Structure 1
Amino acid sequence: MHFSVLAAFTVALAIAVALPGPGIFAVVSCAIGRGFREALAMIGGLILGDLIYFTLAVLGMAALARSMGELFIAVKLTGAAYLIWLGVKLWRERPAALVSSETAGPGKRGYRRSFVGGFLVTISNPKTIAFYAGLLPTFIDLGKISASDAVAMAGIVVLTVGAIPAVYAYAAASSRRFFNSPSRLRLLNRTAGTMLIGSGVTVATR
């Protein structure tokens, strides 16, 4: 595969990832409400979801992904409900619990929750399906892609989908340092919760 093809794919993917959408909003709200490490776990879920759709496209199953029909609707509503549930939890969480969790670390349950949330956001996002099922074939003939080409493009997916949301997450998590009073922490929590609920509603209504 020519380098220019990989470069064009990288630029297109980077633009698609960087544009604010349910995935970015979910990561930012997770970073604000739970901290940078949990946001990284959520980004891991985003990456897994993207890799699944990329693999489906490479294997010639993009049409199947597009025509999931009722199954996709069920997945989409499940992802939306999970995001809304996470948002409600942040709304109800006491600021003191947030401070103590930041000191002790999120623990396996927190990482798992965030990872699943990121995965569901990607799997239920029509924009992700549109990119891999519709836009990816414009860069390369998927019927002639080699194993090395697929590995190279998968590596680009991992780096791009991982790095760009991580920048958003780091910036969002850094803002937590300025919210050191219970009232400000409560406001921060509820802002993050509102963003998660909004992401869930966006996923459900697309």
Structure 2
Amino acid sequence: MDLAGLLVFATALFIAAASPGPGIAAIVARVLGRGPQGAIAFSIGVALGDVVWLTFAILGLAAIAQAFHGIFLVIKYAGAAYLLYIAYKLWTAPAETLDAGAETAAERPSRLLLGGLALTLGNPKPIVFYLALLPTILDLTQVTLLGYAELVAATFAVLAVVFAIYIGLASRARRLFTSPKALRILNKSTGAVMAGAAAAIAAR
């Protein structure tokens, strides 16, 4: 794929990914409520979901995706349920555990990765970008195997930058909350944000 096409794709993806949505809300709320531990695994899962939709778009499988609408509906609700689970944990966790980060450290990276993947597969924002907007940006019928690999690499690179920025900002903001009262407020606020992201996904 030519450099100009990659730059157009990367720019469009950066703008779409950086704009707040359920995925970004989930990552930020997670970091605010539990610290940066586990955020990388969760973000990788989110990025893998983007690659799945990119693959569907390039292979022209939008119609197949519609045919398997029921499966993706189950995945969507599974992602929403996972966010609600995290929201519940954040809402009910004592302030001390948030500061220590013990609960986060105990979570399995594979579980976090699958949670991020389910979130993206059920999130309407990346679906619209890859299946509706991307064909207007690139001629997907001309994408070669090498071009596909370049697009996947660009996707991971762009999302890594966007997620790193949000994780870094959320980590800095979290350090401002040091008292138990402030941590409890942060805990419940981020739990509410996570529940809102789950509702936004389930309602679409």
1:105-147 Cα shifts (integer Å, max 9, x gaps)? 8336253443232212111011211211122222333232111
**What's 1:26 paired with?**
26
CA distance in 1, matches of 2:110, 2:98: 17
Cα pair distance change 1:22/1:105, threshold 3 Å: same
Cα pair distance change 1:168/1:116, threshold 3 Å: same
CA distance in 2, matches of 1:16, 1:64: 24
| Equivalences for residues 166-205 of structure 1 within 5 A | 166-205=164-203
**What's 1:56 paired with?**
56
Which runs of 5 or more structure 1 residues have no equivalent in the other structure?
none
Match of 2:133 among 110, 132, 135: 135
CA distance in 2, matches of 1:29, 1:115: 16
Q: Aligned letter for 2:180? A: P
1:36-59 Cα shifts (integer Å, max 9, x gaps)? 232222111111111111122222
Match of 1:116 among 114, 117, 134: 114
Q: Is the 2:38–2:105 contact (alpha carbons within 8 Å) kept by the matching residues of 1?
A: no
TM-score (normalised: structure 1) = 0.91
Cα pair distance change 1:203/1:35, threshold 3 Å: same
**What's 1:41 paired with?**
41
Q: Is the 1:65–1:129 contact (alpha carbons within 8 Å) kept by the matching residues of 2?
A: no
Q: Offset of 1:78 from its aligned partner?
A: 1.4
User: 2:37 aligns to what SS in structure 1?
Assistant: helix
**What's 2:154 paired with?**
156
CA distance in 1, matches of 2:110, 2:104: 10
**What's 1:98 paired with?**
98
CA distance in 1, matches of 2:40, 2:103: 13
TM-score (normalised: structure 2) = 0.92
Q: Offset of 1:196 from its aligned partner?
A: 0.5
- Equivalent pairs, count: 204
**Which moves more between the two structures, 31-40 or 61-70?**
61-70
**What's 1:15 paired with?**
15
Q: Aligned letter for 1:83? A: L
Q: Aligned letter for 1:44? A: I
State, as a whole percentage, how many aligned pairs show the same letter.
37
Q: Is the 2:97–2:103 contact (alpha carbons within 8 Å) kept by the matching residues of 1?
A: no
